[in-house]
Structure 1
């Protein structure tokens, strides 16, 4: 009986360690995504995604209604590349909440966005990722954008 209990505890600890390792790998993928984003490295950004992923943003219009906008990843890459080099932008990630189930992960990352040294907006990113060949790839990204209720 003692051996069975030890075997169960050992198996559970291995599963937790594997999930911790995957969580760290997902976090690293997202950190690398934003490093490439800030450098306007569209080649690296393309490699981190699985294909032409869909991007969505949720905002609130002047009438207080929720608005969902969609864009293709290829368009996002073109817009990043077209930002003039003299302009600065930074998306500061404030936290990570990562969930992993096998080869699927979700990462929730609250953020602040700064443009040319000025606060622009805040919100949350929700990344969906797939693990292929021991590498995490982004398959979907939705974010919220607002100016009110920010931590800054």
Structure 2
């Protein structure tokens, strides 16, 4: 009887431990943590949010009103974050989250306003594509729009 009680206690403790230490983030929490690292200029954490080869694209209009699509590697983005001067302040304010999750794939869309040194620089929408690898969401693709118009 003592062995049965001991076994039950161990099972309850193991199960309780597993539930209280679950660190799996949702797609929304992954994007939120990405922006926390972004604002802190924490390049080590930023690297961990994406898979190798992740592409970033940005859509904007040039001076003549033509649509412009620029592409960069995620690693170049991380390096650029590290190069922002310490005296500069920047903040990307997210206005809402739109999330579609289907098994191993998720899309998180976030309208935003970007401020540099306290001044509105531009606004737009981010669209994150995430894939779940070993119970962890990773960014595989990020595209955003950038405009200076209608940023209210």
Please report the TM-score for the alignment, with normalisation by the length of structure 1.
0.82
Structure 1 position 52, deviation (Å): 2.9
Matched, 1:52 2:39: no
5+ long unaligned stretches in structure 1? 1-23
2:109 alignment counterpart: 108
Following the alignment from structure 2 to structure 1, what is the Cα–Cα distance between the partners of residues 125 and 53? 21
After superposition, residues 57-136 of structure 1 pair within 5 angstroms as 57-136=58-137
Q: What are structure 2's unaligned runs of at least 5 residues? A: 1-24
Q: Aligned partners of 1:65, 1:58: CA distance in 2, in Å?
A: 10
Aligned residues: 128
Aligned residues: CA RMSD: 0.9
Structure 2 partner of 1:144:
145
C-alpha distance in structure 2 between counterparts of 1:139 and 1:88, whole Å: 27
Give the drift of 1:51: 1.1
TM value normalised by structure 2: 0.82
CA distance in 2, matches of 1:129, 1:85: 30
Aligned to 1:150, the other structure's residue is in SS state: coil
- How far apart are 1:61 and its partner, in Å? 0.6
